[in-house]
């Protein structure tokens, strides 16, 4: 069965090229839902109109598919403000 923690670990390999950090630590992944046959990842961008939006969405989908055990993967870009993590 697909596991949320396993997905988060895989998503730590997706690096935002402009910032140089992974999308999990950057607080860009807002939710991961797993149902019988679908994994749905909800994410935000660091800036509206980010030129890397398509790249990041595809990488998040690809890395999720690697550990989703054949489930369909969807990635939804949320229209909400990104809140940077506290370091």
Question: What is the token pair recorded at 59?
Answer: 């990488």
CA 7 to chain centre: 9
Mean pLDDT, to the nearest integer, of 9-33?
A: 97
- The pLDDT assigned to 87 comes to 64
Put simply, whether the predicted model's pTM sits higher than 0.85 gets the answer yes
Decide if pLDDT at 23 tops 70.
yes
| Domains observed in the chain | 4-77 (3.30.300.130)
* Main-chain phi, psi angles of 65, to 5 degrees: -60, -35
pLDDT band at 86 (very low <50, low <70, confident <90, very high): confident
Q: Which pLDDT tens digit goes with each residue over 27-61?
A: 999 999 999 999 999 999 999 888 999 999 999 99
């Amino acid at each position: 069965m697909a596991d949320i923690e396993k997905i988060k670990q895989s998503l730590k390999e997706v690096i935002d090229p402009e910032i140089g950090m992974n999308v999990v630590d950057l607080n860009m992944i807002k939710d991961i839902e797993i149902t019988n046959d679908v994994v749905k990842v909800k994410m935000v961008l660091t800036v509206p109109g980010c030129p890397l939006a398509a790249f990041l969405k595809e990488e998040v989908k690809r890395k999720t598919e690697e550990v989703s055990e054949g489930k369909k993967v969807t990635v939804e870009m949320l229209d909400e403000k990104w809140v940077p993590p506290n370091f």
